[in-house]
Amino acid sequence: MILSALLTSVGINLALCFLFFTLYSILRKQPGNINVYAPRLVAEEKAQQRGRFNLESLLPTVSWVKKAWQPSEDELLSIVGFDAVVFMRILTFSLKVFSVAGVLGVFILLPINFVGTQLNEDSVDLQNKSLDSFSISNVNDGSNRLWIHFCAAYVFTGVVCYLLYYEYNYISSKRIAYFYSSRPQPHQFTILVRAIPIPSGSTCSETVESFFIENHPSTYLSHSVVRRTSKLQGLISDAEKLYRRLAQLKLKNHTSQRFGRDGFLGIFGHKVDLLDHYEKKLEDVEHNVRLEQASLAGKEVSAAFVSFKSQLGAAVALHIQQGINPTEWITERAPEPHDVHWPFFSSSYLKRWICTLLVFAACAALTILFLIPVVIVQSLTNLEQLETWFPFLEGILSLTVVSQVITGYLPSLILSTFLSFVPPIMIIFSSMQGYISHSQIEKSACIKVLWFTIWNIFFANVLSGTALYQVSVFLEPQKIPSVLAEAVPAQASFFIAYVVTSGWTSLSSSELFRSIPLLCNFFKRVFSGKDDDEFEVPSIPYHRDIPKIIFFGLLGITYFFLSPLILPFLLVYYCMGYIIYRNQLLNVYAPKYEAGGRFWPIVHDSTIFSLVLMHIIAIGIFGLKKLPLASSLIIPLPILTLLFHEYCQKRFLPIFKAYPNECLVKKDKEDLNDPTITEFYEKLAIAYKDPALSMQYPRSTDGHNSPLLHSA
Amino acid sequence: MILSALLTSVGINLALCFLFFTLYSILRKQPGNINVYAPRLVAEEKAQQRGRFNLESLLPTVSWVKKAWQPSEDELLSIVGFDAVVFMRILTFSLKVFSVAGVLGVFILLPINFVGTQLNEDSVDLQNKSLDSFSISNVNDGSNRLWIHFCAAYVFTGVVCYLLYYEYNYISSKRIAYFYSSRPQPHQFTILVRAIPIPSGSTCSETVESFFIENHPSTYLSHSVVRRTSKLQGLISDAEKLYRRLAQLKLKNHTSQRFGRDGFLGIFGHKVDLLDHYEKKLEDVEHNVRLEQASLAGKEVSAAFVSFKSQLGAAVALHIQQGINPTEWITERAPEPHDVHWPFFSSSYLKRWICTLLVFAACAALTILFLIPVVIVQSLTNLEQLETWFPFLEGILSLTVVSQVITGYLPSLILSTFLSFVPPIMIIFSSMQGYISHSQIEKSACIKVLWFTIWNIFFANVLSGTALYQVSVFLEPQKIPSVLAEAVPAQASFFIAYVVTSGWTSLSSSELFRSIPLLCNFFKRVFSGKDDDEFEVPSIPYHRDIPKIIFFGLLGITYFFLSPLILPFLLVYYCMGYIIYRNQLLNVYAPKYEAGGRFWPIVHDSTIFSLVLMHIIAIGIFGLKKLPLASSLIIPLPILTLLFHEYCQKRFLPIFKAYPNECLVKKDKEDLNDPTITEFYEKLAIAYKDPALSMQYPRSTDGHNSPLLHSA
């Protein structure tokens, strides 16, 4: 790619960004869009309803940037929760890393690359210069200037490791502090027990009760047995919908609207009194609910939530093998009550294991299927190949603008479109693996999406660029450095375009501007003609955004000394991300459940991976550049990095897995002195009862709230 | 090797075995040898001193076999402890496996192999037939008879897995039962804490005390800080020796003997009154001891034994991370007080890690050095090669007897001699790894010796037999089955000879006859002229014997369908082993410390390894024998075996790692009802105090016991 193609791409995306920023700053002030741009504030009833219309609201302003900038970290913590703070720290960490990298890269490495003569470019015209002349490929073979790159690799690794350590330390101490400051919560006192061996003639409930009274006499509090309620929950949500429709009909009071057809979409079928019709239907459903509830009381799964009087009590039951047979009485940390989610829950180990294998196979299949868009994208960047495949395109492709759009903008647009389907698919895969909570599913999906992205975007593009998909290289480990060293620098321009398209534009269009929710909201208002006040406050999709941020980090780290031109673009991305995500966290997203900062170790691990990948490429590059001494002197660097990683794993990871005894004892003492603790115990005893089982009848359709929501 | 060479080897070894059996049955009745053949009974004062001499004692008898046979397993458990019972179960397990294998192999597979015509042997004379005609190599290529071998592999694997499961289940339930029946012991109530962060201005003892009172208020009992006492212990043992010599001198009362020279070995130097000389020396040493004790009181290591009031309390402290910083307050199960041994103890994680790396390197070096005897051995089995190397030997080697001895007997004798040096070396390596007790060191050495044996005896011999040391095959995984299938059957005769030499003969000569202790005892009696009543009862060297038993199992399993001729020899070995080890456990060895049957998982793992190795060879063999269908149909077998292994790991292994909550609670309740529990707590509080630190002075040399042994 030549410089002007890159500039075209940057120009298009910059224009798009400005467009979305402007539109956002106008549309956010329109009252009709408040559910799109400030659902969190609406839910907290903080958003002021503005007057119907004034001219000022049509002028773009930047006041939101200031508002998003202002809150300190502690304020953020109290407003958006710990996970969001950790998320913001990922961005500030990346900003720090790439500020250092940017200074080193742009002011030291870039000039060195540029004055090299290895590529012997004929064109002296800057605009037509290939982007390769800014990369390490342009430095002359065997030149001593490469030692500067060598030093840069060492210095940069040192800086990144220092920042990683600092951040891990900071976040883990914050995690402990957050734990101390939190009010007692049910999930801290509860564990999930599965594979309960029920003796014949006894129920699950009795078995659990007697086992824990026997073995945890001083700390056992209560338990609730798990039941399969998916069918019941379906019925209840049907009843909810019917009830809501009934309430709406009653409010309208127009008899004209009370008649409709009972068939498909209200268009076909007999004309009936809708009020009667829905009431009859509702009665049917409610009858079924009662029947199902009665039958479910017996349908116990051999699993139960067991609550304890102290957090230490729960930790003891969690960490020490309970039964003599280790495949029975398997304990697991309980998720928050509203976080529980197990469409694929099974108390059998074997079933879960098979599911994991199936999910693994499905991921592999998805990876292979994803090769199709990758191949398309790569054929677009190699225009000559495209011309030989489709000769009739020759005429169009010879136009400069068209070819620049095609090589500069289209490929990464296609890739990022396809990539946007991956996170929801991975969520489905992860939920099939038998995790018991939304947050665990999200974390597992996050890891899946991350590796999928690294493999399918980085490796597939890099390796298909030279010769289509040289997977076989991974079977001959000694060849990896040289193959990567040859292939990676060649894709620098593609990845710069990728950062601009998939980073800048998609950040402003989908994250800030929220184009899809905006459109949905618009159509809802136009077609249903009502201001539906039942809307859900979204939670931030960590499994979509964290892998993206990490992946840009990987690009930055690996290209840091190969092609430093990428660094300014990344810095702009992270700056935009910092402001936009802060704004969205404050206005749009509400935390649904707390994972206690458990996403940080993923970031740490993948940063280490990026560093080691950079080192491996460096070994190859110095070999190619005929500087074998530098090539061998780089070897200690990955070893030291991995040792550092090993140390961090030992030093910090356990804190993210479980709270230590010291903390639990201290917290338990504080809790015991809390005057509300007995009240809390009462709440705890019913926290994990399935709400579906405790709905009460007879219902009353007069109140504004659904009676189905009154729990016993 | 031809049949007659094998018979020579068997003949020699059989004769040796009979010789040793006869000698044993005579010598054990001689009163002078009672310390060699019944040290355990002597220590328990159960051995009757027989009359000086009678003719009957010179006649060989077999009464000892009957005595060794009689005790039931429960009697054995009460006499020799749980580890020894598990050891005996390894032998009975092997007996069961090879009874089945023997029936299948000798009555079904052997005749099939023998009637094959693949090898086209010219000689019809049975004596000169090569042993290969009894192996699978002799079955015709592509013959349908190979399907019988195929079925045998499936049936045998099924039987072994069933027996493995049965045994694991039996031993783990016995382990729990043994735990329930045991009296409370200090190590069950104690943990070792290392990396204690000592704030400045505080001592280790204070820090530990305040930490555990704070965090384990209801269960904490006491602690003792670890001190470096190796120098002190050296001084004390010097003092002990001097004291003993003094006591002997005083008892003798002969003034003539009281004078000696003070130089080297009492031969050179001035003539002095030995009594005065030793007393002066003893005073010096004791003075040093007191000085060292005083200085040590301050020399604390940041590690301590912490005891709890209940076993559950200790388990909680063990399993839950204690401090906020996971690299501090590291907990570990405490060994029995007299099992503590840490020449290389370090509270630093890093140091321990480096030591492990060094030990790994040392093991690798030892493996490479061990190639020398292996090459010698292999050159002996290939006589032709030896003749080309040393042409002058041609004359001697042409003698039938010489060549038969050389090919049949010498190689395995050399190997087993060299191999006998390995266990002590591995003990040194393991102790360098920083384990804190003899039993852990022994277990680790056992694993090291096992893999060393498998690699250096099995693989080195097998692979050097065809082309010297084809290690490179392990870099191309797809070639492993065919290389092994070609090489393994060729070494059948060598391993049969190895079983006979290293199994039968060394079992009877070194285990039963105890040649080395016998010689030592003899020389002691002859030269020092005294019946030294201070002798140590030996403990069974599990790290030497278990790998040997397992290795023979590996040979049997891999050769089961390749060359079933090995099976009868193995059966004889296990029968002999059963009787001899029972005899020795009852008469010779005393258990020093209890590992709770922790050796069984090693046996289980290596049996699974042997099975999978057999399957891999089978895949190769059926391929070589032009039966590709059988070759592919074998593939599910290793997969099923590994799944079975996975299940067993999950089902039984946790029981061997820690006792479950259920057991601990039950045991704690029983203990609390025990009237002697307060007495036990008092004992517990001082159990881990270093005896070297609590020696009391002034000494008195009048009593029969050393005053140094009186502890405070």
For residue B324, which residues of chain A lie inside 8 Å, CB to CB? 176, 655, 660, 662-663
Report the alpha-carbon distance of residue B21 to residue B104 in Å, rounded: 31
Instruction: Give the strand pairing for B271-273 and A330-333.
Output: unpaired
Q: Is residue A92's pLDDT more than 90?
A: yes
Report the alpha-carbon distance of residue B270 to residue B348 in Å, rounded: 50
The pLDDT score that the predictor gives to residue A468 is 46
Contact residues, chain B to chain A, C-beta under 8 Å: 176, 214-215, 315-317, 319-327, 349, 650-655, 658, 660-665
Q: Which H helix or E strand runs over B377?
A: helix B371-381
For residue B660, which residues of chain A lie inside 8 Å, CB to CB? 320-324, 326
Contact residues, chain A to chain B, C-beta under 8 Å: 176, 214-215, 315-317, 319-327, 349, 650-655, 658, 660-665
Contact A349 B651 (CB under 8 A): no
Crossing angle (nearest 10°) for helices B636-657 and B146-181: 10
Min CA distance, B626 vs chain A (Å)? 29
Min CA distance, B222 vs chain A (Å)? 18
Report the alpha-carbon distance of residue B410 to residue B396 in Å, rounded: 15
For residue B661, which residues of chain A lie inside 8 Å, CB to CB? 215, 316-317, 320-323
The pLDDT score that the predictor gives to residue B558 is 93
Report the alpha-carbon distance of residue A593 to residue A540 in Å, rounded: 11
pLDDT tens, position by position, A311-351: 999 999 999 998 888 888 889 889 888 888 766 677 677 77
Report the alpha-carbon distance of residue B686 to residue A196 in Å, rounded: 41
Crossing angle (nearest 10°) for helices A422-432 and A438-453: 130
Min CA distance, A101 vs chain B (Å)? 31
Picking from B321, B322, B667, B669 by the largest number of A CB atoms within 10 A of its own CB, the best residue to mutate is: B321
pLDDT band at B372 (very low <50, low <70, confident <90, very high): confident
The pLDDT score that the predictor gives to residue B128 is 65
For B324, the closest of A176, A215, A323 (CB atoms) is: A176
The answer to whether the CB of A388 falls within 8 A of the CB of A366 is no
Contact A660 B323 (CB under 8 A): yes
Picking from A662, A663, A672 by the largest number of B CB atoms within 10 A of its own CB, the best residue to mutate is: A662
For residue B653, which residues of chain A lie inside 8 Å, CB to CB? 326
Distances (CA, A) of B580 to A125, B65, B79, B468, B514: 93, 8, 16, 38, 11
Report the alpha-carbon distance of residue B85 to residue B107 in Å, rounded: 32
Nearest residue of A to residue B354, measured between CA atoms: A643
Contact A654 B349 (CB under 8 A): no
The answer to whether the CB of B301 falls within 8 A of the CB of B227 is yes
Distance of CA B406 to the CA centre of its chain: 30
Instruction: Give the strand pairing for A300-308 and A330-333.
Output: unpaired
Contact A650 B319 (CB under 8 A): no
Distances (CA, A) of A569 to A93, B312, B572: 16, 58, 77
The tokens describing A80, both together, are 């958006």
pTM of the model: 0.82
**Phi first, then psi: what are they for B300, rounded to 5°?**
-85, 140
Cβ-based neighbour number of residue A682 at 10 Å = 11
* Least confident stretch, A316-320, A517-521, B289-293: B289-293
For residue A349, which residues of chain B lie inside 8 Å, CB to CB? 650
For A654, the closest of B316, B326, B661 (CB atoms) is: B326
Contact B660 A319 (CB under 8 A): no
Q: Is residue A556's pLDDT more than 70?
A: yes
pLDDT tens, position by position, B505-561: 888 888 888 888 888 888 887 776 555 556 678 888 899 999 999 999 999 999 998
The pLDDT score that the predictor gives to residue A712 is 34
Q: Is residue B182's pLDDT more than 70?
A: yes
Q: Is residue B705's pLDDT more than 60?
A: no
Side-chain half-sphere CA neighbours of A179 within 13 A: 26
For residue A322, which residues of chain B lie inside 8 Å, CB to CB? 660-662
Share of chain B above pLDDT 90, in %: 28
Contact A320 B315 (CB under 8 A): yes
For B651, the closest of A326, A650, A660 (CB atoms) is: A326
Picking from A321, A476, A478 by the largest number of B CB atoms within 10 A of its own CB, the best residue to mutate is: A321
Contact A660 B315 (CB under 8 A): no
For B324, the closest of A349, A650, A660 (CB atoms) is: A660
User: Which residue in A434, A393, A220 sits closest to A309, CA to CA?
Assistant: A220
H-assigned helices in B588-635: 600-624, 628-633
Q: Is residue A68's pLDDT more than 60?
A: yes
Please give the single-letter amino acid code of residue A670.
Answer: E
ipTM > 0.85 (yes/no):
no
For B215, the closest of A176, A325, A661 (CB atoms) is: A661
Q: Is residue B265's pLDDT more than 60?
A: no
For residue A655, which residues of chain B lie inside 8 Å, CB to CB? 324, 326
3-state helix, strand, coil in chain B (%, to 5): 70, 5, 25
Q: Is residue A141's pLDDT more than 60?
A: yes
Contact A663 B324 (CB under 8 A): yes
Q: Which H helix or E strand runs over B278?
A: helix B274-296
Contact B662 A215 (CB under 8 A): yes
Q: Is residue B207's pLDDT more than 70?
A: yes
pLDDT band at A706 (very low <50, low <70, confident <90, very high): very low
Q: Is residue A222's pLDDT more than 80?
A: yes
CA angle centred on A365, ends A363 and A369, rounded to 5°: 115
Q: Is residue B180's pLDDT more than 70?
A: yes
Report the alpha-carbon distance of residue A576 to residue A543 in Å, rounded: 20
The answer to whether the CB of A196 falls within 8 A of the CB of A208 is yes
pLDDT tens, position by position, B551-601: 999 999 999 988 899 999 999 999 999 999 999 998 888 888 888 888 999
CA angle centred on A700, ends A696 and A704, rounded to 5°: 105
Instruction: Give the strand pairing for B190-194 and B300-308.
Output: antiparallel
Nearest residue of A to residue B649, measured between CA atoms: A326
For residue A654, which residues of chain B lie inside 8 Å, CB to CB? 321, 326
Min CA distance, B32 vs chain A (Å)? 50
Q: Is A230 exposed, middle or buried (CB count within 10 Å of its CB: 0-12, 13-18, 19+)? A: exposed
Min CA distance, A662 vs chain B (Å)? 6
Q: What is the DSSP string of B164-227?
A: HHHHHHHHHHHHHHHHHHSPP-GGGGEEEEES----TTS-HHHHHHHHHHHH-TTTEEEEEEEE
Strand order of the β-sheet with A300-308 is: A220-227, A300-308, A190-194, A330-333
The pLDDT score that the predictor gives to residue A257 is 54
H-assigned helices in A530-635: 542-559, 566-587, 600-624, 628-634
Cis peptide, bond prior to residue B199, ω within 30 of zero: no
For A315, the closest of B320, B324, B655 (CB atoms) is: B320
3-state helix, strand, coil in chain A (%, to 5): 70, 5, 25
The pLDDT score that the predictor gives to residue B15 is 92
Contact B326 A650 (CB under 8 A): yes
pLDDT tens, position by position, B235-259: 777 777 777 777 777 776 555 555 5
Report the alpha-carbon distance of residue A151 to residue A561 in Å, rounded: 10
Min CA distance, A613 vs chain B (Å)? 24
For residue A214, which residues of chain B lie inside 8 Å, CB to CB? 665
Cβ-based neighbour number of residue B194 at 10 Å = 21
For residue B655, which residues of chain A lie inside 8 Å, CB to CB? 324, 326
H-assigned helices in B433-491: 438-453, 460-466, 480-490
Residue B141 per-residue DSSP state:
T
Picking from A208, A324, A325, A328 by the largest number of B CB atoms within 10 A of its own CB, the best residue to mutate is: A324
Contact A321 B658 (CB under 8 A): yes
Residue B340 per-residue DSSP state:
B
- Give strand ranges (E) for B210-334: 220-227, 259-261, 271-273, 300-308, 330-333
Contact B655 A317 (CB under 8 A): no
Contact A660 B326 (CB under 8 A): yes
Report the alpha-carbon distance of residue A192 to residue A443 in Å, rounded: 19
Contact A324 B665 (CB under 8 A): no
The tokens describing A71, both together, are 């809150």
Picking from B178, B207, B661 by the largest number of A CB atoms within 10 A of its own CB, the best residue to mutate is: B661
Cβ contacts below 8 Å, chain A against chain B, sum to: 80
Please give the single-letter amino acid code of residue A91.
Answer: L
Contact A655 B326 (CB under 8 A): yes
The answer to whether the CB of A441 falls within 8 A of the CB of A431 is yes
